[in-house]
Structure 1
Amino acid sequence: MSNTKTTAQEQSTVDTQQNTLIAMMDPLPNPENKTIQAQSPLYHVDLDLLAKKTQKEGGVHLRERAFLGYLNLRCNQALNEHRDAIEKVLGIPLPREPLSSSELENYSIRWVSPDEWLIVVPGIEAFAIESKLRRELTGHYSIINSSGGSTMLELSGHNVVELLKKSTPVDLHLSQFPIGKVVSTLFAKSSAVIRRTGETQFELIIRRSFADYIWLWIQDASAEFGLVIDK
């Protein structure tokens, strides 16, 4: 996004804690500039309008959860100080079991690899959360704010598993893919971080550049079941 701004107070705090220079920028448009509005990766599809015009019943339900914040965190899960710092800021523990996740209200953490996690927060809070994490974490770690490059799709419905079977090689049986499990995998020849949030409900975090392609794929793959756009 354009018209980004820095926050000098946050920068000064980070520099004092880490004794190094860290360049941080808030990717949200400056609220003082009324001519700039944030646009979701699927803004051109106008899912809100489709939700009003399309069918109300079907086997697959789709909703874009736009404007969330995504922070890629790498740290040492074996260090108590790293785990304690993350739980202090987010109020939830760092998932340590492979393919697991933790969540509390609007915050969630997804396990990506033994030293990597994807933190999802409300988009308006992403910069503040990043700043707090940098103040609390010490030693060797990495935080990257990738909020502008991703979006989340919610897929649900009694045919959602059949739809996903067309799209990913992952075993989706409930015994192998229980609620709360997370995988980073292929989805329709692209990539996605998939988390199961209910027996027939999933979250897909996808790249912004593939959002239109994946939307068209889901639209086509769900034709036999009926696609409902939820607001």
Structure 2
Amino acid sequence: MTSSRTSVIDQRPMPEVHAQCARSPLAHLFTARDDGDAGVVLEEKAFLGHLTLRGDPAQPGFAEGVEAALGLALPLTPATLHQNEGGRSIQWLSPDEWLILVPGEEAFTVEKALHEALAGRYQVVNVSGGQTVISLSGDQARQVLMKSTPTDVHPRAFPVGRGVPAVFAKATLVLRRVSESEFELVVRRSFADYLGRWLLDASEEFGVCIKA
């Protein structure tokens, strides 16, 4: 396969600069808190690498190239999510679009690897600066979701490994179930404050623990 000659720029600042200056979209709101026997646990998974990938899965070498670069098979079934223990995941968004999440320090490496592994018509865009992830877990997490979204989150309809774009408290986001006890909300930076406040209010009756 012919490698891509696309120029890729590392958008993440040097570690020492990042440590001093980086501020996540919810740093002002999600400060450490524990109500004791909390039914809901909230945590911002800040500074992850977010990449959007577009291409034709039927194109020769496309699926194989993605797997070689990412270490995960390309999801071809609608609303499915593949993930590994190293913190990487790839989620089906549409027949020709996927969302890739990786640890922040790996975003540039993965982006370069995709360009090197893919050829033909495809697109990789680093959108890390425009999104963040909220983790929602706890015994009452599903109750909070049921108050917030029309998406059916019953375990029969929303098992582990499922992820969908969803309407949530009149905003839009990507809702994912990453384990039996944890959901993730991939939100735009511009919606983060609003959705964070919504989650705090919706969780109040159950008791809240915020990991910071």
| The two structures share one fold, judged by TM-score above 0.5 | yes
Secondary structure at the residue paired with 1:198?
A: coil
When normalised by structure 2's length, the TM-score is: 0.92
Counterpart among 90, 93, 100 of residue 109 in structure 1: 90
Secondary structure at the residue paired with 1:112?
A: strand
| 2:188 alignment counterpart | 207
Distance 2:29 2:112 in 1: 34
Assess, with a 3 A threshold, how the Cα gap between structure 1 residues 58 and 76 changes in structure 2: closer, same or farther: same
| 2:69 alignment counterpart | 89
**RMSD of Structure 2 on Structure 1 (CA):** 1.8
Task: Indicate whether 1:55 and 2:35 are aligned.
Answer: yes
Distance 2:10 2:175 in 1: 27
Deviations 1:49-68 (A, max 9, x none): x23xx323211110111110
Counterpart among 58, 61, 68 of residue 48 in structure 2: 68
| 1:17 alignment counterpart | 3
Secondary structure at the residue paired with 2:205?
A: coil
Higher RCO (CA 8 Å, separation ≥ 6 residues)? 2
Is the contact made by 1:29 and 1:36 (CA closer than 8 Å) also made in structure 2?
no
Distance 1:36 1:157 in 2: 32
Assess, with a 3 A threshold, how the Cα gap between structure 1 residues 140 and 228 changes in structure 2: closer, same or farther: same
Distance 2:22 2:140 in 1: 33
Distance 1:102 1:214 in 2: 25
Is the contact made by 2:30 and 2:210 (CA closer than 8 Å) also made in structure 1?
no
Counterpart among 18, 21, 28 of residue 44 in structure 1: 28
Paired positions, count:
210
| 1:100 alignment counterpart | 80
Structure with bigger gyration radius: 1
Counterpart among 75, 79, 83 of residue 59 in structure 2: 79
Assess, with a 3 A threshold, how the Cα gap between structure 1 residues 115 and 58 changes in structure 2: closer, same or farther: same
The Cα shift of 1:93 comes to: 0.2
* Percent of aligned pairs sharing the same letter: 45
Secondary structure at the residue paired with 2:21?
A: coil
Distance 1:18 1:174 in 2: 42
| 1:216 alignment counterpart | 197
Secondary structure at the residue paired with 1:222?
A: helix
| 1:26 alignment counterpart | 10
Is the contact made by 2:36 and 2:207 (CA closer than 8 Å) also made in structure 1?
no
Assess, with a 3 A threshold, how the Cα gap between structure 1 residues 31 and 229 changes in structure 2: closer, same or farther: closer
Deviations 1:188-225 (A, max 9, x none): 11111111123332011101111111111011111111
Is the contact made by 1:108 and 1:121 (CA closer than 8 Å) also made in structure 2?
yes
Is the contact made by 2:8 and 2:111 (CA closer than 8 Å) also made in structure 1?
no
Secondary structure at the residue paired with 2:178?
A: strand
When normalised by structure 1's length, the TM-score is: 0.85
Deviations 1:54-83 (A, max 9, x none): 323211110111110000000111234011
Deviations 1:104-124 (A, max 9, x none): 121100110011000000111
Task: Indicate whether 1:135 and 2:116 are aligned.
Answer: yes
Counterpart among 174, 191, 194 of residue 193 in structure 1: 174
